């Protein structure tokens, strides 16, 4: 870890020096250094941008959670018929996922029985929580503050990683182009060195 940090610091120092006024620094090296430092600066600028994106997602998710908390209420139900496996194309239908069970609960003075999604291991007589909306329709559990925080963290991380990845890709493409320019420059220099004797052959004529 220390070696990697030292190596990174050394390369960063080199890129900073490449932007100086040393006449021995090639133009291609200056351009590469500029691209690398621009990518690093972009990664820093991306932090508040990603944070803002997370705040927006959190506000939206928290608002949704608040609405669902008012519009949904739980009831305690009892499993009256064991679970059957959900179709294979339903997410989580593999081992340990949800299953379709028949549950029964009281709505006022009325006893209601309905097929719902419950735990795979649910057995007849087990108690489980069913969430209903104001119209009495079975719905999923409302979002919580923790769900909003997780969504915000995922959004922030995704935005920051996307921006950094774009910067890294730009540096990679710039470096490839500059490497080709350097290769052509080396080939040209070697060609001149191989075919130019600086006039030594004519001095003995």
Helix 2-18 vs helix 27-71: crossing angle, to nearest 10? 120
Under 8 Å between Cβ of 143 and 152? no
**Tens of pLDDT along 150-200?**
999 999 999 999 999 999 999 999 989 988 888 787 777 777 777 665 544
CA-to-CA distance for 36 and 167, rounded, in angstroms? 9
CB-count exposure of residue 197 (10 Å: 0-12, 13-18, 19+): exposed
Under 8 Å between Cβ of 157 and 151? no
Write phi, then psi, for 9 (nearest 5 degrees).
-65, -40
Selected residue with higher pLDDT from 147 and 125: 147
CA-to-CA distance for 118 and 120, rounded, in angstroms? 6
Q: Which contiguous run of DSSP H or E holds residue 149?
A: helix 145-195
Tally of CB atoms within 10 A around 16: 12
- Whole-model pTM over 0.85: no
**Tens of pLDDT along 17-36?**
666 667 767 778 788 888 88
What is the model's pLDDT at position 95?
42
**Tens of pLDDT along 74-110?**
999 999 887 655 444 444 434 445 678 889 998 888 8
Helix, strand, coil percent values for the chain (each to nearest 5): 55, 20, 20
Tokens 């990174």 identify what position? 8
CA-to-CA distance for 202 and 205, rounded, in angstroms? 5
């Amino acid at each position: 870890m220390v070696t990697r940090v030292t190596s990174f610091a050394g390369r960063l120092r080199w890129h900073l020096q490449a932007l100086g006024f040393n006449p021995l620094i090639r133009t291609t090296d200056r351009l590469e250094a500029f691209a690398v430092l621009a990518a690093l600066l972009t990664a820093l600028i991306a932090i508040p941008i990603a944070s803002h994106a997370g705040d927006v997602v959190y506000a939206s998710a928290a608002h949704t959670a608040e609405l669902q908390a008012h519009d949904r209420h739980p009831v305690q139900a009892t499993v009256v018929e064991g679970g059957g496996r959900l179709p294979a194309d339903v997410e989580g239908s593999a081992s340990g996922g949800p299953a379709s069970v028949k549950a029964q609960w009281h709505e006022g003075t009325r006893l209601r029985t309905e097929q719902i999604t419950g735990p795979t291991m649910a057995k007849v007589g087990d108690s489980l929580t069913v969430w209903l909306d104001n119209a009495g329709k079975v719905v999923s559990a409302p979002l919580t503050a923790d769900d909003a925080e997780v969504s915000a963290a995922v959004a922030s991380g995704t935005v920051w990683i996307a921006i950094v990845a774009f910067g890294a890709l730009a540096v990679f493409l710039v470096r490839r182009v500059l490497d080709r320019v350097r290769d052509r420059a080396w080939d040209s220099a070697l060609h001149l060195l191989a075919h130019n004797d600086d006039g030594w052959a004519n001095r003995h004529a």
